[in-house]
């Protein structure tokens, strides 16, 4: 490893946590997986250390090793020390470790929905932590829980104490987890992917909250994530891990200004940037090549982007494909009573010079007019309808052949409901959906099933949308069989094999099951399944939100390649504005069931007209620098 094992910025102050040569291995029969291999890092009082890497790099295993929460069977700390408050946690008896865990040493787990007990009220779960470690009454513990709820900014904290986890949003559940972790005023807080898959605005609130509590309480933080944009916001120092190894370790300022390791360079380059004009994203393999030495060790060789590859990233594929000029002019002057802000500036100063326009008089492939999806609110003994929740409230937009429309907004804004309503996967209250001049809202039964072949959806969670009991071949050929694609079983198998190759997976994987693939590979399977029926239109619903940035870049490039080869049209739904800007030609910003801004994506990002859009853009991580006022820890 070319980097110094201990950061050069470490002061002579005694470390709160010091990990020296940690080796955490998983043993299965004759096979050994070196999840964490000779890791050495340190965290000082009041410091935030960012631990960065892709899935499988060893980040979460490091945190579980510190907490001594590794599985009893198959996992073991085979070497090294974890010294916390002067005691080696590796050698600490279980009883003493239980007393330390949750009190001086606390953790926020990655998924709050699965970390909270669904059958207990959230207030009681926070109070339980206090009762376990402190000799107080239940009444006092609940009062402390109320104070914690107020401190972490949970709305209506007194009533929220009585809620069950399913009654709270993702951001609120994450705040409950933070309150639970802070209940006994820990000296070290481990935050394991605490903002993954959260909206950018909720993510910004959580990061602000963690920084505020860190500074007020003087605690240290080990912040684990795969998103370097988030790390730029919160960390004093950064440790980058790859396949269990520490590959780079320095101050955040130095790593972002001048990364030394090719893996770090690749991670930084994979993330879409608002200012970029690239048509493809670099991937980690563009910066490094990995081989195995004769002794079985990992050898990393740095690569430089060739001129050919750089030209492909910069210019391969078409530029923006925008609405007809007359339609953009109409959008530019639109300030309707519904509050929609037009961002259709047709001057080349506002749009990329390589933008093309759909020919005048072209009929949109998809036209959505005044779409409404309302859910009744019932009250009383007789469950009478007293009002309606307007999930989608009268929105209209067009998508032309070959275009990508980005649909962006926070959770609950109605974007996913819009996608499902277009496909008629949920009932439509009002409005029309015209696809290739056919009114989908009037279709039913067999005709709707026939038409649905032309428009498919890629869901957010690839694992839950794949049948765990079906092989890849069965999933792909079943869709073909239903829609009578292919001349027979062998022809369909051949088509399935070709689909796997097209999405970047070996055809030999046809007999595998979903659990045998990684998250990125499963998302490729979902894309292949959608393409199996040869659609014209794909709705991608948060299809990359939970993926590592490097895997995300690969999937985004794949979607662009498929669009180019097959002439596909997309609606790309996401809460990640930088991803939407990279993917989309036109963009619609949704809030509270309505479209508040609609126009070319570059024009909206360059000059947002609506306050809500400006708020979303301001919340994108990586630019606000929450640590700028911490000079003592940013040498």
Token representation of residue 485: 């694609």
Average pLDDT over residues 90-118: 87
Inform me whether the pLDDT recorded for 6 exceeds 60. Answer: no
The chain-wide mean pLDDT, for the chain, equals 85
* Best CA proximity match to 537, nearest among 435, 459, 441: 435
Inform me whether the pLDDT recorded for 335 exceeds 60. Answer: no
Beta carbons of 541 and 491 less than 8 angstroms apart? no
Tell me the backbone φ, ψ of residue 151, rounded to 5 degrees: -65, -40
- Give, rounded to a whole angstrom, the gap between the first and last alpha carbons of the chain: 23
- Provide the pLDDT confidence category of residue 341 given band limits of 50, 70 and 90: low
- Provide the pLDDT confidence category of residue 13 given band limits of 50, 70 and 90: low
Domain boundaries, given as residue ranges, for the chain: 1-98+188-208+218-272, 105-185, 284-315, 321-443+586-618
- Using CA atoms, how far apart are residues 112 and 586, in angstroms rounded to an integer? 34
Average pLDDT over residues 362-379: 93
Average pLDDT over residues 185-211: 82
Average pLDDT over residues 18-36: 89
- Provide the pLDDT confidence category of residue 511 given band limits of 50, 70 and 90: very high
- For residue 323, the 8-state DSSP code is P
User: Residue 86, exposed/middle/buried by CB under 10 A (0-12, 13-18, 19+)?
Assistant: exposed
Cβ neighbour number for residue 138 with a 10 Å cutoff = 12
Cα–Cα–Cα angle for 145, 146, 147, rounded to 5 degrees:
90
Residues linked to residue 570 through DSSP beta bridges, in sequence order:
404, 538
- Using CA atoms, how far apart are residues 544 and 541, in angstroms rounded to an integer? 9
Q: Edge-to-edge strands of the sheet including 237-242?
A: 105-108, 188-192, 220-225, 48-52, 237-242, 245-251
In order, the DSSP letters of 228-254 are: HHHHHHH-SEEEEEETTEEEEEEEHHH
Looking at residue 340, what is its pLDDT? 60
Residue identified by tokens 């292919």 is 486
- Provide the pLDDT confidence category of residue 337 given band limits of 50, 70 and 90: very low
Average pLDDT over residues 159-179: 85
- Using CA atoms, how far apart are residues 541 and 539, in angstroms rounded to an integer? 6
> Is residue 125 helix, strand or coil?
helix
User: What would the CATH number be for the domain defined by 1-98+188-208+218-272?
Assistant: 3.40.50.300
Residue identified by tokens 């402390």 is 144
Cβ neighbour number for residue 578 with a 10 Å cutoff = 21
Average pLDDT over residues 146-167: 88
């Amino acid at each position: 490893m070319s980097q110094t094992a201990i950061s050069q910025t470490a002061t002579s102050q005694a470390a709160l946590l010091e990990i020296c040569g940690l080796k955490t291995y998983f043993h299965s029969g004759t096979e050994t997986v070196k999840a964490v291999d000779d890791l050495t890092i340190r965290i000082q009082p009041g410091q935030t250390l960012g631990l960065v890497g892709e899935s499988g790099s060893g980040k979460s295993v490091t945190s579980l090793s510190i907490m001594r929460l590794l599985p009893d069977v198959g996992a073991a700390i085979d070497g090294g020390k974890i010294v916390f408050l002067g005691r080696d946690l590796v050698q600490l008896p279980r009883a003493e470790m239980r007393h330390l865990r949750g009190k001086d040493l606390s953790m926020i787990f990655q998924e709050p929905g699965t970390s909270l007990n669904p059958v207990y009220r959230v207030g009681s779960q926070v109070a339980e932590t206090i009762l376990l470690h402190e000799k107080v009454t239940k009444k006092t513990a609940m009062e402390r829980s109320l104070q914690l709820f107020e401190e972490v900014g949970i709305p209506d904290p007194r009533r929220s104490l009585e809620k069950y986890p399913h009654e709270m949003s993702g951001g609120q559940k994450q705040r409950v987890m933070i309150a639970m972790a802070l209940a006994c005023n820990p000296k070290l807080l481990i935050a394991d992917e605490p903002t993954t898959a959260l909206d950018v605005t909720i993510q910004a609130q959580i990061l602000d909250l963690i920084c505020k509590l860190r500074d007020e309480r003087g605690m240290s933080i080990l912040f684990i994530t795969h998103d370097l944009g988030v790390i730029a916001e919160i960390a004093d120092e950064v440790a980058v891990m790859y396949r269990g190894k520490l590959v780079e370790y320095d101050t955040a300022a130095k790593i972002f200004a001048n990364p030394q390791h090719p893996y770090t360079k690749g991670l930084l380059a994979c993330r879409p940037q608002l200012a970029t004009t690239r048509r493809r994203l670099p991937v980690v393999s563009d910066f490094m090549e990995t081989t195995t030495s004769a002794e079985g060790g990992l050898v990393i060789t740095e690569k430089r982007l060739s001129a050919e590859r750089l030209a492909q990233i910069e210019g391969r594929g078409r530029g923006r494909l925008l609405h007809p000029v007359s339609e953009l002019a109409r959008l530019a002057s639109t300030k309707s009573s519904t509050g929609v802000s037009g961002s259709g500036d047709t001057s080349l100063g506002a749009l990329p010079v390589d933008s093309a326009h759909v020919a005048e008089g072209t009929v949109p492939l998809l036209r959505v007019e005044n779409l409404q999806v309302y859910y009744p609110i019932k009250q009383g003994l007789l469950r009478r309808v007293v009002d309606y929740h307007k999930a989608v409230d009268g929105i209209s937009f067009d998508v032309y052949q070959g275009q990508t429309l980005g649909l962006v907004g926070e959770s609950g804004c109605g974007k996913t409901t819009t996608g499902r309503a277009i496909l008629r996967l949920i009932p439509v209250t009002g409005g029309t959906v015209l696809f290739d001049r056919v009114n989908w809202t009037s279709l039913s039964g067999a005709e709707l099933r026939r038409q649905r072949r032309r428009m498919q959806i890629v869901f957010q969670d690839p694992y839950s949308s794949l049948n765990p009991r079906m092989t890849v071949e069965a999933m792909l050929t079943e869709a073909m069989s239903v829609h009578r694609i292919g001349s027979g079983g062998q022809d369909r198998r051949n088509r399935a094999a070709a689909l796997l190759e097209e999405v970047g997976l070996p055809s030999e994987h046809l007999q595998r099951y979903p659990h045998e693939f990684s998250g990125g590979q499963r998302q490729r399977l979902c894309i292949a399944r959608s393409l199996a029926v040869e659609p014209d239109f794909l709705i991608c619903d948060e299809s990359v939100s939970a993926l590592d940035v490097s895997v995300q870049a690969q999937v985004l490039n794949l979607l662009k390649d498929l669009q180019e080869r097959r002439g596909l049209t997309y609606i790309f739904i996401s809460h990640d504005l930088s991803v939407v800007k990279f993917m989309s030609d036109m963009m619609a910003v949704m809030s509270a069931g309505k479209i508040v801004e609609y126009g070319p994506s570059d024009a909206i990002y360059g000059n947002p007209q609506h306050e809500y859009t400006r708020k979303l853009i301001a919340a994108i991580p990586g630019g606000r620098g929450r640590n700028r006022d911490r000079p003592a820890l940013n040498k």
